[in-house]
Amino acid sequence: MSIRVQRILLTALIAGLLLAGCGGSPSAVTSEKLNVVTTVSPITNIIYNVGGDRINLSGIIPEGTDSHTFEPIPSDSQKLAQADLIFVNGLHLEEPTLELARANAKPGAEIVLLGEQTITPDDYIYDFSFPREAGNPNPHVWMNPPYALRYAEIIRDALARHDPANADICRRNHAVFKARL
């Protein structure tokens, strides 16, 4: 074998090793799961339906706890500080948790207010529990199926932005959730 051929083969081998090292394995692209933190259990459930096992999901407000009066505990700030995505209902439902999230979110983390992206002030509903004079609309909009579907769309899009490698899976999970709804 001539020296020229040996150099070409050696160059090709080095280039192949460099490309393989830079590309990583396909499983390495999807092995890192997003840390997602939520507030109330209905939102946690919608997020689970869209993100499935492709995310590390943690809810802050325990099932059966009044989210209007819930006060986060110190360990909640740790969960929020590790989150890549934080989903809250918004519409003044979980203000102490939202404040804690804003104070502890790591750089690059996104806080998503679902209610504000789903309805406008013209759509706000006030009643005896949520009087107009208090300025806080009824925040339980996920109980309306079209609004729950809008929450799922917002969640799908946020997960896809933060984890493009798993975006197709989130889109498929969203389609299944939409069909069930």
First to last CA, the chain: 68
- pTM exceeds 0.85: no
Of 37, 32, 138, 111, the closest CA to residue 78 belongs to 37
pLDDT at 65: 87
pLDDT at 48: 97
Contacts 24+ apart (CB under 8 A), 164-168: 165/29, 165/30, 166/30, 166/54
- Which two tokens mark 34? 């997003």
Please give the CATH topology (third level) of the domain spanning 24-180: Rossmann fold (3.40.50)
Of 58, 33, 32, 139, the closest CA to residue 92 belongs to 139
| Domains of the chain, residue spans | 24-180
How far apart, in whole angstroms, are the C-alpha atoms of residue 138 and residue 52? 29
How far apart, in whole angstroms, are the C-alpha atoms of residue 61 and residue 90? 14
Per-residue pLDDT tens digits for 9-54 = 333 333 333 333 333 333 334 458 999 999 999 999 999 999 999 9
Can you tell me which residue has the tokens 């789903």? 118
How far apart, in whole angstroms, are the C-alpha atoms of residue 66 and residue 105? 24
Which residues in the chain show pLDDT less than 50?
Answer: 2-30
